[in-house]
A and B are shown apart, each in its own frame.
Chain A
Amino acid sequence: MMEAAKKKELQALAVRIRMAALEAIHSLGSGHLGGAMSIADVLAVLYGKEMKYNAADPKWPERDKLVCSKGHAGPAVYGTLAVKGFFPYEELKTLNRPGTRLPSHCDRNKTPGVDMTTGSLGQGTSLACGMALGEKLRGRDARVFLIVGDGESNEGQVWEALAFASAKKLDNLVVLLDWNKRQLDGWTEDVYPMGDYVAKLEAFGFDTVKVNGNDVEAVADALERTRQAAGKPHAVILDTVKGAGIQEVADTAMNHSLPVSDEQFERWTAQLKSELAALEG
């Protein structure tokens, strides 16, 4: 059980991440809103509690690393990094602008705090395995957190990577599967049903739990558990809602990429602000 104050702090951070991602996407006019919103809570737990990092020294070798393999959720990652001071908050408005450090998909060579380049779905999974193996071979106790989309898990490479992680006993790797039940063409059940992720990950040799991925406390508890080096890699299936945190977005069936009007932006920001005020008192 988490202290009430810590829980509120993480919830507030999640709201701030949503506001920041929304601001970045609105500044452009449209973007991958659904998949950014579904991971705001796990990002809050990672950067508000679980990961060790130094915003002033983003390349500190001992840090824990994040691979957001569903690279199109970049705006959520950038929102988190901006809130945590990796770069000026105002820079969020340069999303996708000519010469930006914040491209639509995560880029380790452009954004301070982004640990790996992603965007071609599936590739981040193998990269994360190599990074986790690298930490071990270097004798560091840093961990690697890997966010994978459920649609992304259609890719064969994802399963090759998972098999590798298990074969090489990468217990410093934590796979966070964003089970938001939607991909680009709609519901995963209609497009490409993948079956039971818990059973699959267990069969692949992972220490596996499934939690409400939009509940910071549940996510924090699950991550707490992954700190024990179990001799096997960890998987947390995040049961989430695509668009979580902005009801209208969540209620829009095809919410992979959406335009955001000024009116929507203002209304949604006002809602998030009042949530924040309630949490921060």
Chain B
Amino acid sequence: MMKVVYTGEMDPRLCKSVLGETIPALAEKDADVIYLDADLMSCIGTAKWAKANPGRAINCGIAEANMVGVACGLASAGFKPIVHTFGPFASRRCYDQAFLSGGYAKNDVTIIGTDPGVTATMNGGTHMPFEDVALYRALPGATVIDVTDPTMLISVLGQCVNRPGVKYIRVGRKQYAKVYEEGSDLPIGKAVTLREGSDIAIFACGIMVHEAMQAAGTLAAEGIQAAVIDMFTIKPLDVEAVEAWAKKCGAVLVAENHNKFGGLWSAVSEVLAQKRPVPAGYVAVEDEFGEVGPQGYLQERFGLTAAHIVEQAKSIIAKKS
């Protein structure tokens, strides 16, 4: 079952609470699921459950590279590890371990990196990954997901524990706009059409899905029909969806809370270049480091708002012959 129920309203659930419920639930359902964290259990509400279940939840201290290595070792013993820390530490800090001890050695692990991109807000530049997707995309066989809403988080986590390879899930800990009806299944690798359109196809992921939907509304009021496609699976990319929408609309815009290098824009461009070159552009971070501030400020600062999408969409459409 899958149903789109987007109205622009926030889903009342905080993703940290959803993580705090879903990880224990997965572990209780499957005795092989084991959860590892690096001194951030209290940030996603798993601390209490972890204390009561010391054999199922391992606090690895502030030592992320070791944690991922340990998780990979546990995977070789038949466990299905779910690893969590903040995005920069779940990607840059432990990348070689995820790459070799995980991917190369074929030890399957699920890695959750919280507070991707501008959602790191008050923790500032040191904690603001705009490159985590790029890193994990370059890991052979990896799955890379930028979560759209709490319902999706539950759905993809359940799939990831039983999926081969290294799985990287980036998700903010706060609220998201509600896009999917509770209980919806979102098959990994399958793009979801949120809004039909014929003038331009907007591929978005993560917090940018909501911005894209808002932008599409604004564009429609001006007579421009923009399709919005939720590309939450950045790898493996739904190549057919990219091709089909490029063919239908003849113009493509990608919106992502990530550096323009190596993320969804890169992934979509690779498909367009090979299969169906059409005018295309992006709303993404212009190869910059993060900085501190509230999310609204940061979205303005890095050009990640609905207004930026509207402006870009028009300039791309103007290039259609």
Chain A residues with a Cβ under 8 A of chain B: 28, 71, 96-100, 103-105, 107, 117-122, 151-152, 154-156, 183-186, 191-192, 254
Q: Is the CB of A154 within 8 A of B294?
A: no
- Chain B residues with CB under 8 Å of A185's CB are 37, 39-42, 47, 59
Q: Is the CB of B126 within 8 A of A192?
A: no
Contacts A104-B122, A184-B39; is A98 near B293 (CB within 8 Å)?
yes
- Chain B residues with CB under 8 Å of A105's CB are 123-127
* Minimal Cβ-Cβ distance residue in B for A150: B62
Q: Is the CB of B301 within 8 A of A98?
A: yes
Q: In the complex, which residues 19-42 of chain B have their Cβ closer than 8 Å to any Cβ of chain A?
A: 37, 39-42
CB distance from A14 to the nearest CB of B (A): 26
- Chain A residues with CB under 8 Å of B301's CB are 98
Q: Is the CB of B127 within 8 A of A183?
A: no
Q: Is the CB of B61 within 8 A of A117?
A: no
Whether a CB of chain A sits under 8 angstroms from the CB of B192 is: no
CA–CA, A185 to B84, complex, Å? Answer: 14
* Minimal Cβ-Cβ distance residue in A for B124: A103
Q: A119-B124, A185-B40 are in contact. List 4 more A-B contacts (CB 8 A).
A: A96-B292, A107-B124, A154-B61, A192-B39
- Chain A residues with CB under 8 Å of B254's CB are none
How would residues 115 to 134 of chain B score, 1 for a CB under 8 Å from any chain A CB and 0 otherwise?
00000001111110000000
Q: Is the CB of A103 within 8 A of B39?
A: no
* Minimal Cβ-Cβ distance residue in B for A151: B62
Contacts A151-B61, A191-B59, A192-B59; is A103 near B292 (CB within 8 Å)?
yes
- Chain A residues with CB under 8 Å of B126's CB are 71, 105, 117-120
Contacts A105-B126, A105-B127, A192-B61; is A184 near B293 (CB within 8 Å)?
no
- Total B residues in contact with A, Cβ cutoff 8 Å: 29
Contacts A151-B61, A186-B42, A191-B59; is A98 near B294 (CB within 8 Å)?
yes
Q: Is the CB of A119 within 8 A of B127?
A: yes
CB distance from B13 to the nearest CB of A (A): 22
Q: Is the CB of A154 within 8 A of B124?
A: no
- Chain B residues with CB under 8 Å of A122's CB are 62
Q: How many A-B residue pairs have CB under 8 A?
A: 84
- Chain B residues with CB under 8 Å of A104's CB are 122-124, 292
- Chain B residues with CB under 8 Å of A98's CB are 293-294, 297, 301
- Chain A residues with CB under 8 Å of B292's CB are 96, 100, 103-104
CA–CA, A117 to B290, complex, Å? Answer: 14
- Chain A residues with CB under 8 Å of B218's CB are none
CB distance from A126 to the nearest CB of B (A): 13
- Chain B residues with CB under 8 Å of A97's CB are 293
CB distance from B46 to the nearest CB of A (A): 10
- Chain B residues with CB under 8 Å of A152's CB are 62
- Chain A residues with CB under 8 Å of B60's CB are 154, 192
CA–CA, A99 to B297, complex, Å? Answer: 10
CB distance from B130 to the nearest CB of A (A): 15
A and B contact pairs by CB, cutoff 8 A, 19 listed: A71-B126, A96-B124, A96-B293, A100-B292, A103-B124, A105-B123, A107-B125, A118-B126, A119-B125, A119-B127, A120-B89, A120-B126, A151-B39, A154-B60, A155-B63, A183-B61, A191-B59, A192-B61, A192-B63
Whether a CB of chain A sits under 8 angstroms from the CB of B276 is: no
How would residues 205 to 235 of chain B score, 1 for a CB under 8 Å from any chain A CB and 0 otherwise?
0000000000000000000000000000000
Whether a CB of chain A sits under 8 angstroms from the CB of B149 is: no
**Most interface-central of B37, B60, B125, B126 (chain A CB within 10 A):** B126
Whether a CB of chain A sits under 8 angstroms from the CB of B316 is: no
Contacts A103-B125, A151-B62; is A184 near B291 (CB within 8 Å)?
no
CA–CA, A254 to B40, complex, Å? Answer: 12
